[in-house]
Structure 1
Amino acid sequence: MDLYGKAWSRREIEARVGKMEQIAGIKRFVAIEGKDAGVVYIQVRTGAGLSYNVTPSKGLDISLAEYHGVPISWQSPNGDAHPSYYEAEGNQWLRTASGGLLMTCGLMQVGASCEDKGERLGLHGRYHHTPAEQVCARSTWQEDEMEMCISGLVNETSIFGGRLQLAREISSRVGDNTILIKDEVRNMGFESCPHMILYHFNFGFPLLMEETRIQFYSDQVSPRDQDTSIHAYGEWQAPDAAYLERVYYHESPKKPLVHISNPHFPLHGGTTQVQATLQWSSQTLPNLVQWKMPGSGTHVLGIEPANCHVGGRKEERERGTLVFLEPGETVKYEIRLNLS
């Protein structure tokens, strides 16, 4: 493995530590107070600067992420509120959404609350507030490389309703500042089921500062709202209390990736160039949604690969773009985040 500017064998590393967790590894812990009480975390440290907290209590989504001890993700004012506080109606999702590096939206509803085929659907669906099952956290050696992997299942089910199951695997290697997310969604039922999914990645201060630039590779950019200008969608700005959120759709990306670059990221007592690169498979995630909200007290950039837009399931059905999974059908998703 490459670590501290040098290539090491497994035995060379083991000779220099009492336990591998001195350098990198996996650790579970539980929050004990406030609305976070009872939330389980699995912390992953790569040893190369990247660390992040996976939350089995909330669908194996990712909460705080740091690079050399400096946050790159955004935390909502709700903290990592326990899913027992979740209210599904209307926009109540906003009361318990954690922010963090990743909030998964779905599995049968994404976007605006609506009523579809007689079913009332809340904002962004239930996934982010559904605990995972069969959670496994393990570190394994493959010759001189050590991989850390967290896996589990998340089920969204209803009697006489849909039955979707997501199998998630999140992995990183020691010495490498990369997170790889592999998901597989399967229709466990015996009827066709609507399937919507959006990966709500949230980046925040100090990765986001006035000099930060966001590079997209899109053929066309259009605003969700008609009164929204597309001016400066690739730039950032100082906090503005009067700023109203803006949502953009990036169509037909030439390359399914986004670069977020800050030339003056605070690190090691000074500043340096840091870039976050998010990459995904456009075969199953053909849409990219951008949420720009540099408002005071919020100050977040959402980069959101998806199989839908964010108008809600009713609108998606009316547009003829609603995705369905047939009984027993599966679909796979893969997303990679790298810090450099």
Structure 2
Amino acid sequence: MVKLFGKEFKMDELRQYVGSMSQLAGARVFEYKNGRADGIKGIDVKTGSGFRFTVLPDRGMDIADAEYGGKSLGWMCKNNIAAPQYFENGGLGFLRSFNGGLITTCGLTQAGDHGVEGDEVLGIHGRISHLPAEIINVEENWYGDDYVIKLSGKIRESCLYAENLVLKREIICKMGESKVLIKDMVENEGYNESPFMILYHVNFGFPIVSKDTKLYSSALKVEPFNEEARKGDGEYSLFDRPTKGYQWQGFLHIMPQDREKVYAGLVNESIDFGGYVAYSPKQMPCFNEWKMMGQQDYVVGLEPGINIPEGRIEARKNGRLTTLKPGERYEINFEIGVLEDRIDIERFKAMI
């Protein structure tokens, strides 16, 4: 059943009101024609509830800008959107083409701190978010009385003499809803065991993030991750105004591993507006919070993953590095949604 404008509609009823469902919801493929984004594809998706977002097939099928009812959800970096050829591997080069957005995927063989392992230069957060999808499908179909929009793509991270990993992604939403489901499956299509790391940078910005915002999560406890967090006041759930000279702080949220689903969300209490992420801790046992209160760099990242953002070198050293055997697959499903009003917010708090 489609819920729109405070009413519920069955398929046959709603179809009588419009000639094309694109009047209410759907996906529109386009091409950027400006600046460093020139030539890359975008897919603009709207659900009809006021929820809208842009998928970038040429940037790992990640989600760039997103909004609800004209209010921004995701944080957009001052780099804005850049085509894959602007990627600088090694060190912190990733940060020169990182656009932020609602989702940036980090991986697939490296996520977190940079370094050099043998002959391989490992840049911060890996390559997958700068690789284009090989196969892209856009589907809009009725399933009973639900109108479903589904985007799918396949992104390959490979190297001669090294890994051959494939990320198959589905992005699914329904007309009338204000949430999106990400279904990922990573497969080792090579004949050698491969390092495997993946972390999802879910980036919320103003107006969700402000001095009136609070973070809520299912965490049993929260620990500082980096030196800035350790020498700070340990405050992970409250936020400041944009602050000159601010250095980012990271916090590890230790989630209960016996639950089917855990949650983390940000709520701007002054305007009753927020966003959340929900996922299975069995699929992603780790969760990092990126707290960055800098001027222009004003963002909070909610980052579930199979690893903490320590990078491959430290993960291997500490015995935490995950690998995929030849032919092995790893599935991840998670949801990002909007907290539209006070009723939505209180319902979310009750689920935590």
Contact 1:115 1:121 in 2 (8 A): yes
SS of the equivalent of 2:95 reads: helix
Residues 94-122 of structure 1: per-residue CA shift (max 9 Å, x gap):
00011100000000000111112432111
Matched residue type, 2:268: N
Shift of 1:274: 2.0
Which of the residues 225, 239, 246 maps onto 1:236?
239
Q: Could you say what secondary structure the match of 1:261 adopts?
A: strand
Partner Cα separation in structure 1 for residue 36 and residue 228 of structure 2: 37
CA offsets, 1:237-277, max 9 Å, x none?
21101211101111234662102112333xxxxxxx22322
> Could you tell me which residue of structure 2 aligns to residue 174 of structure 1?
175
Q: Which amino acid aligns with 2:181?
A: L
Cα distance in 2, alignment partners of residues 100 and 214 from structure 1: 19
Contact 2:221/2:254 (8 A) holds in 1: yes
Deviation of the 1:25 alpha carbon: 0.7
Residue 281 of structure 1: how far off its partner (Å) = 1.4
Quick one: distance in 2 between partners of 1:277 and 1:100?
15
CA distance in 1 between counterparts of 2:301 and 2:27 reads: 27
Report the identity percentage: 34
Aligned AA (2:242): P
With structure 2 as the length reference, what TM-score do the two structures score?
A: 0.92
Quick check: 254-263 or 180-189, which moved more? 254-263
Aligned partner of 2:49 in structure 1 is 48
TM superposition shift of 1:227: 4.7
Partner of 1:251: 254
Alignment of 1:126-275 (within 5 A): 126-228=127-229, 229=232, 231-253=234-256, 256-265=262-271, 273-275=272-274
Secondary structure at the residue paired with 2:33? coil
Provide the residue aligned with 1:325 in structure 2: 324
CA change 1:11–1:208 in 2 (3 A) is same
**In terms of mean alpha carbon deviation, does 288-297 or 211-220 score higher?**
211-220
Aligned residue runs from structure 1 range 33-112, under 5 A: 33-112=34-113
Letter of the 1:28 partner, please give it. V
Q: What displacement does 1:329 show?
A: 0.3
Report if the CA contact (8 A) 2:60-2:128 is conserved: yes
Aligned partners of 1:80, 1:156: CA distance in 2, in Å? 21
Report what 2:346 is aligned to.
none
How many Å apart are 1:169 and its aligned residue?
A: 0.2
1:192-239 deviations in Å (ceiling 9; x for gaps): 100000000000001111111111222222212245235320012211
Identify unmatched segments of 5+ residues in structure 1: 266-272
Q: Which residue of 1 aligns with 2:10?
A: 9
- Cα separation, 1, equivalents of 2:223 and 2:117: 26
TM-score (norm. length: structure 1): 0.95
Structure 1 residue identity aligned to 2:106: C
Equivalent residue, structure 1, for 2:350: none
Q: Which amino acid counterpart does residue 267 of structure 2 have in structure 1?
A: S
Distance in 1 separating the partners of 2:21 and 2:233: 48
> Across the two proteins, how many residue pairs are aligned to each other?
333
Deviation string, structure 1 residues 20-48 (Cα, Å, up to 9, x no partner): 11111110111101001112110110001
Q: Is the 8 A contact 1:39 1:80 kept in 2?
A: no
The farther-off stretch of 210-219 and 50-59 is 210-219
- Contact 1:164–1:187 (CA under 8 A) maintained in structure 2: yes
Q: Residue by residue, what CA displacement relative to the aligned partner does 1:277-311 show, whole Å, maximum 9, x if unpaired?
A: 21011112100011000111110001100111222
Contact 1:223–1:230 at 8 Å: present in 2 too?
no
1:325 is aligned with what amino acid?
A: L
Q: Which residue of 1 aligns with 2:347?
A: none
Q: Does structure 2 conserve the Cα–Cα contact (< 8 Å) formed by 1:222 and 1:230?
A: no
SS at match of 1:315: helix
Are 1:216 and 1:234, in contact at CA under 8 Å, matched by a contact in 2? no
SS at match of 1:80: coil
Secondary structure of residue in 2 paired with 1:243: coil
- Provide the C-alpha distance between the structure 1 equivalents of 2:147 and 2:61, rounded to a whole number of angstroms: 21
Which moved further from structure 2: 302-311 or 227-236?
Answer: 227-236
How far apart, in 2, do the equivalents of 1:9 and 1:264 lie? 36
Kept after mapping to 1: 8 A contact 2:228/2:247: no
